[in-house]
Amino acid sequence: MINEVLYMEITLKIDDIDYDSAAEMMMPMLMDHFANDKDNVMARLLMLSQGVTESAVKAILSRMTQEQKDQLLVRLTNSYKPQIKKLLTQMAASQGIRLTIKDVEAKIE
């Protein structure tokens, strides 16, 4: 008899994100992203002129539209999949739930 592996897929739809609070928590990722973002000329120029600082990141975020912030969060989520999977697994374990997260994917509908 072959053991059949079944996966459960859970979809979370997120809206109305408080980007100011999220930016505080994600500051190291944002600093790294903006410092290395070759596609965002404005961000690169600001980082070169002010340095890779929290105030520079906040300045960039303040100039972004809601759609740009949403797209940034999707890119960061997909770039940091291993760290997010580990964090979610640890959160579940802290509640006494053992599980393995196979994948994390973000997209905009």
Q: How far apart, in whole angstroms, are the C-alpha atoms of residue 33 and residue 15?
A: 22
- pLDDT tens, position by position, 13-61: 888 888 888 888 888 888 888 777 777 777 767 766 776 678 878 888 8
Q: What does the domain layout of the chain look like in residue ranges?
A: 19-64
- Residue 47 and residue 34 in contact, taking contact as beta carbons nearer than 8 Å: yes
pTM of the entire structure? 0.74
Q: Residue 81 is encoded by which pair of tokens?
A: 């999949």
